[in-house]
Amino acid sequence: MANQPFPGSASSDTDTAATGAVPASFPAQGVPHFSGLNRLGLWTLYMKEVRRFFKVQTQTIWAPAITTLLFLVIFSVAMGRADVRILGVNFSTFVAPGLIVMGMMQNAFANSSFSFLAGKIQGTIIDYLMPPLSEGELMLALISAAVTRAVLVGLAVYAAMLLWPGVHLSLAHPWAVAWFGLMGSIMLALIGLMTSLWAEKFDHNAAVTNFVIAPLSLLSGTFYVIDNLAPVFQTISRMNPFFYVISGFRFGFLGQSDIGSTNQAVLNGAIGLGLLNVVLGIALYALLRSGWKLKS
């Protein structure tokens, strides 16, 4: 014992350098420093993404709210003075919830689909890959930021529609408003993040927006009930997940929906959306783990 050098002595440092051993005070190469949830890194990335869209809030929050409100104005004027009743309410009240959640979903997609794509184009993708964040933490931060933007847009649209004559929005089932709004925003945030992984230029992102997201949104029953469609188109509409988000969210306000004639049908739609988001989340996690389009 007397002949052995102390851990902090010069001979100990020489032996360490000679053998190539790693000092006990440092983790081995490749061993993560964070054994649990990296809360600070998660919060930092979330705030970075929130500040990014909030810095240009006129473009990312208020402009989408005004654009969505214009749909209500145009369709209300097009209906003229006709007293059209749908699901027991006037047309403006019927269409308002669908427009709110449609704006939420579209902006959740816009936010998450920009993250990785902008990094790849600007050469700053390393800012997402280098920090000590796991794939799950990276997903959680980016999706949470997208949902935050969706909620802010939804609140802005809701406040604007309350000022529109003839719109009466009262919460019949608050759980449905919260669940379908959240599930719809998460679903589009996940799809947007997948698009951001795949896209290599903004044209790719625009193609998904114009040829996938916009048609699914507009053909989801936002402006009509699917009972007015031919049976084959009703079947196609029921295969569109956007339809369940729109109708379920509307059910939360009006207490009625064209998902089905019973509350159980709405509940089944809510469970189905939750399961779909789980599948999308697992697929996105696997893509991030593989480094597809990011590390190659």
* pLDDT by position in tens, the chain (length 296): 445 444 444 444 445 444 555 455 656 665 556 667 888 989 999 999 999 999 999 989 999 888 888 888 887 777 766 677 888 888 888 999 999 999 999 999 999 999 899 888 888 888 888 888 899 999 999 999 999 999 999 999 999 888 887 788 888 899 999 999 999 999 999 999 999 999 999 999 999 999 999 999 988 888 888 888 888 988 888 999 999 999 999 999 998 888 876 788 899 999 999 999 999 999 999 999 998 888 75
The torsion angles phi and psi of 11, rounded to 5 degrees, stand at -65, -30
- Predicted pLDDT of residue 8: 47
Q: If 0-12 CB within 10 Å is exposed, 13-18 middle and 19+ buried, where does residue 253 land?
A: buried
Taking phi over 0 as left and psi of -120 to 50 as alpha, with beta for the rest, 221 belongs to left
Measured CA to CA in angstroms, residue 36 lies from 42, 151, 237 at distances of 12, 29, 43
Alpha-helical segments (H) within 163-230: 174-198, 202-208, 214-218
C-alpha span between 240 and 28 (Å, rounded): 50
Cα angle 51, 36, 278 (rounded to 5 degrees) comes to 70
DSSP state of 290: H
- Predicted pLDDT of residue 162: 84
Q: Which two tokens stand for residue 45?
A: 């990335």
Q: Which two tokens stand for residue 214?
A: 């916009």
- Predicted pLDDT of residue 76: 76
- Predicted pLDDT of residue 130: 87
C-alpha span between 26 and 33 (Å, rounded): 9
Torsion of CA 61, 64, 65, 71, to 10 degrees: 180
Q: Domain ranges for the chain, please list them.
A: 36-290
With DSSP H G I counted as helix, E B as strand and the rest as coil, what are the percentages for the chain, rounded to 5? 70, 0, 30
- Predicted pLDDT of residue 233: 87
Count Cα neighbours of 3 within 13 Å in the Cβ-side half-sphere.
0
The torsion angles phi and psi of 127, rounded to 5 degrees, stand at -65, -25
Please enumerate in sequence order all residues whose Cβ is within 8 A of that of 256, keeping only pairs 6 or more positions apart, or say none.
87, 88, 250
CB distance 225 to 258 below 8 Å? yes
- Predicted pLDDT of residue 6: 44
C-alpha span between 219 and 247 (Å, rounded): 12
Q: Please report, in angstroms and rounded to a whole number, the separation of the first and last CA atoms in the chain.
A: 52
- Predicted pLDDT of residue 261: 63
Q: Which two tokens stand for residue 74?
A: 């145009």
